[in-house]
Amino acid sequence: MGRRGSAMELSATLLVLLHLSMNVVDEGYAVNPSCTCLRFTSTYGKERGTFSSPDYPRPYPARIDCLLYTFVAAPHQIVELVFTDFDIYKEHLDCVRGDYLKVYWEVQGPGPPGAINERSAWAKELCGSRTDAPPALYSPGPAMVLEFHTGLKQNNATGFVGTYNFIDRRLFETDGVRVPGTECDNQFSRSGNRPTHGRLYSPRYPSIYPNNVRCSYHFHARAKERVKVVFEEVSLQKGDISCLRRADIIKVFDGRDTNAPAIAMLCNELTGYEVLSTGPALLLQFTANSATPGQGFAATFHFQPPPDSTAADSDRLLKLSFGKAFESLGPEVSATSK
């Protein structure tokens, strides 16, 4: 191969030896027989483990055919990856040729945990600068695989470095009762000894939600109580500021069903938004139909005691003053990341 080829082979060999000294590394099931697999199954007592591209922070070599980073957590955990630096040469807009990093997380199935093969479908392709990479990646299950590939041409891109962590997935369980026969509908009732507050999440949160899904979250408080929902984080399909034609959207209805007045429509990305029902029932409907799903949403709910007479009189005055306009569509809320 010549001196340049020999130097790249030596660089790759040093990389593997470095990872052998820090992590559990083995040859696993691969996309093709030439893949090298670096396997991460523990943080070894540290809060977070680390991973990086070959030779980082120097430019990575060309002609890396297939280098797999396989992260395997316990069955009740998910994988969190955070890039602290990211610089992969962007040869094409779609990141599927030249230099790229592919993300696989639908890796459950036959074979050892984290196994992928030539039939495995990737979830994301990443390339470009730090602004092109997501702040964090979360697997929906206990494994995630990154495939690093570089093209024929050497460039000055330095690659990537990041940290990984294994998180208990039970931290993201919705505090409702799943409606039988549905994929993601939940009931939240104030009856009996059920708590007056709790949490709710989009499917698979904090990983990306599936497309072609509709989830209904039904809230039923006691008579004269009101329902408050606080959206701590919303990260849906990115687009313009209007929510009216978005494929991924959250609608909030001030009542038991979609015939009730819509008091909010949420899309894109936002934080810290609150909605409050005027009565004891509230319906939150999450619809996702886009081909580019986001992370979803995390929210809290609270069943609040009856308002004082002043607040009740104010509500009645608004209804008398504005008539049907008071019951028409509520605020449309959207924020786009910069």
Written as tens digits, the pLDDT of the chain (338 aa) is 444 444 444 344 434 333 433 343 333 344 565 689 999 999 988 999 999 999 999 999 999 989 999 999 999 999 999 999 999 999 888 898 889 999 998 665 545 556 666 667 788 899 999 999 998 999 999 999 999 999 999 999 999 999 999 999 999 999 999 999 999 999 999 877 777 899 999 999 999 999 899 999 999 999 999 999 999 999 998 877 788 888 999 999 999 999 999 999 999 999 999 999 999 999 999 999 998 899 999 999 999 998 664 555 445 544 444 444 434 445 677 755 44
- Sequence-distant (6+) residues with CB within 8 A of 98 are 89, 90, 91, 92, 127, 150, 151, 153
Residue ranges of the chain that CATH labels 2.60.120.290: 3-167, 173-335
Please give the model's pTM, rounded to 2 decimal places: 0.78
Residue 326 confidence (pLDDT) = 37
Distances (CA, A) of 52 to 19, 22, 155: 9, 12, 17
Residue 115 confidence (pLDDT) = 67
Q: Coil, strand, or helix at residue 233?
A: strand
Residue 20 confidence (pLDDT) = 36
Q: For 205, how many CA atoms within 13 A lie in the half-sphere containing its CB?
A: 20
Residue 73 confidence (pLDDT) = 94
∠ at Cα 108 (102, 110), nearest 5°?
115
Domain 3-167 has CATH 2.60.120.290: yes
- Alpha carbon of residue 163 to chain centroid: 17
State the architecture of 173-335 in CATH terms: Sandwich (2.60)
